[in-house]
Amino acid sequence: MKRNSINIHHVTSFSSSPFWCVFFLVLLCKTSTNALVKQPPNETTPAIIVFGDSIVDAGNNDDIMTTLARCNYPPYGIDFDGGIPTGRFCNGKVATDFIAEKFGIKPSIPAYRNPNLKPEDLLTGVTFASGGAGYVPFTTQLSTYLFIYKPLLFLKGGIALSQQLKLFEEYVEKMKKMVGEERTKLIIKNSLFMVICGSNDITNTYFGLPSVQQQYDVASFTTLMADNARSFAQKLHEYGARRIQVFGAPPVGCVPSQRTLAGGPTRNCVVRFNDATKLYNVKLAANLGSLSRTLGDKTIIYVDIYDSLLDIILDPRQYGFKVVDKGCCGTGLIEVALLCNNFAADVCPNRDEYVFWDSFHPTEKTYRIMATKYFERYV
């Protein structure tokens, strides 16, 4: 096993800067708002609270000028309400928006750092997720490269998971001032926390940076990821959360940018990326099961999204898709974030035929389908 340490000041390689890290949190609670939906066993869901990366970021990075992981400009949001770019890495809504809508809570989940956030939005849920975040602390700390044929930009990532927790603490204090301490505790206790993260750790940090591979092998690095994910879930439990869903990582080797960078001349899915992801997911599921047994609490659950997305990629026509290996924005080969813009990249007119919006993030239609799969299996 290689050394489990790294000096982030000596990392000198590049990655494609995918911004998938997503840690989902959803809250379930008995209260008297009109937005409640009954959930087994006769519990209600007043809010959805989300942690993670760009998959569920709704604009928390918008004012962070030192990161590439921003998309508060067209054509992002072209299919969102009013065609407004909100900071979502998508042409429209993301999965958590559809989950909130399905629960009957509200049509979309806003970013906690949105300057236009209303006090009542806190009662029905926000996302703390940030593009570029990871379970491994130095994933967010490391400088992020946007790669075409050579490094183009050199900027840092977004808000680390540890800082997302600090924002959550701030959120809790605001809630206490609004509805009192007891009701706030009740909301947290009976709410469902969803966490999605890990893709940036695998693609950007491990496979993107040779210096990391010199100090970790795949086994030790995925263990580090899974252990940190377990610690994050345990911290949520310490905050009083009792319905926690931690999502595994998707098949990152099949996203367009990774096919372009590491899939060879035929741009196949990158097997070693997917193998590492599957290994991490197995360890994550085991860690969460162990944590649940230790705490005597069976409400900490592993949620699989690997198979859900892979099924769409392998059998796209079943879902009405035609293009799986390119994004809708620009050439679809590498455009993501800054390179996907109205000045440099055209947008495909038939977005519902594409699994991916840019070279790393799914389209609104894909998120809708995955949200439906989630409800079929876990709700």
Q: Distance (Å, rounded) from C-alpha 241 to C-alpha 26?
A: 10
Model confidence at 227: pLDDT above 80: yes
- Paired tokens of 324: 């799986």
Task: Report the pLDDT value the prediction gives residue 4, as an integer from 0 to 100.
Answer: 45
* Average pLDDT over every residue of 309-336: 97
Task: Report the pLDDT value the prediction gives residue 245, as an integer from 0 to 100.
Answer: 95
Q: Distance (Å, rounded) from C-alpha 302 to C-alpha 346?
A: 38
Could you tell me the sign of the dihedral formed by the alpha carbons of 226, 142, 90, 327, in that order? Answer: negative
> For 74-124, how does the pLDDT look when each residue is reduced to its tens digit (9 = 90+)?
999 999 998 999 999 999 999 999 999 999 999 999 999 999 999 989 999
* Average pLDDT over every residue of 268-280: 98
Model confidence at 333: pLDDT above 50: yes
Which phi and psi (to 5°) does residue 133 adopt? Answer: -75, 160
Q: Are 238 and 296 in contact (CB under 8 A)?
A: no
The single residue listed with the structure tokens 């079943």 is 318
* Helix, coil or strand: residue 141: helix
Q: Which of 136-150, 332-346, 353-367 shows the lowest mean pLDDT across its residues? A: 136-150
Q: Distance (Å, rounded) from C-alpha 199 to C-alpha 248?
A: 9
Task: Report the pLDDT value the prediction gives residue 12, as an integer from 0 to 100.
Answer: 34
* Average pLDDT over every residue of 363-378: 96
Could you say which DSSP state residue 47 is in? B
Task: Report the pLDDT value the prediction gives residue 5, as an integer from 0 to 100.
Answer: 44
Q: So which residues are the catalytic ones? A: 54, 358, 361
* Average pLDDT over every residue of 196-216: 94
Distance from the Cα of residue 60 to its chain's centroid: 12
Task: Report the pLDDT value the prediction gives residue 49, as an integer from 0 to 100.
Answer: 96
From the list 139, 39, 53, the residue with the least C-alpha distance to 94 is 53
* Average pLDDT over every residue of 338-349: 92
- For the chain, state the CA radius of gyration: 19
* Average pLDDT over every residue of 131-138: 92
Q: Are 24 and 269 in contact (CB under 8 A)?
A: no
Contacts 24+ apart (CB under 8 A), 206-213: 206/276, 207/15, 207/262, 207/272, 207/273, 207/276, 208/13, 208/14, 208/15, 208/16, 208/145, 209/11, 209/13, 209/14, 209/15, 209/142, 210/13, 211/6, 211/10, 211/11, 211/12, 211/13, 212/6, 212/11
Q: How confident is the model at residue 344 (pLDDT cuts 50, 70, 90)?
A: confident
* Helix, coil or strand: residue 302: strand
* Average pLDDT over every residue of 56-69: 91
Q: Are 311 and 345 in contact (CB under 8 A)?
A: no
What does each C-alpha distance from 378 to 39, 133, 162, 241, 256 come to in angstroms?
11, 25, 27, 18, 28
Q: Distance (Å, rounded) from C-alpha 88 to C-alpha 97?
A: 11
What is the crossing angle of helices 306-314 and 271-295, to 10°? 150
> For 160-180, how does the pLDDT look when each residue is reduced to its tens digit (9 = 90+)?
999 999 999 999 999 999 999
CB contact burial 52-77 (16+ within 10 A = b; e otherwise): bbbbbbbbbbbebeebbbbbebebbb
- Paired tokens of 158: 């977004």
Q: How confident is the model at residue 194 (pLDDT cuts 50, 70, 90)?
A: very high
HEC secondary structure over 192-234: EEEEECCHHHHHHHHCCCHHHHCCCCHHHHHHHHHHHHHHHHH
Q: Exposed, middle or buried: residue 248 (CB in 10 Å: 0-12, 13-18, 19+)?
A: buried
Percent pLDDT > 90 in the chain is: 74
Q: How confident is the model at residue 32 (pLDDT cuts 50, 70, 90)?
A: very low
Reported pTM? 0.87
CB contact burial 120-139 (16+ within 10 A = b; e otherwise): ebbbbbbbbbbbbbbbbbbb
From the list 13, 330, 17, 75, the residue with the least C-alpha distance to 200 is 17
* Average pLDDT over every residue of 347-354: 96
Model confidence at 188: pLDDT above 70: yes
The single residue listed with the structure tokens 């979309």 is 108
Model confidence at 342: pLDDT above 60: yes
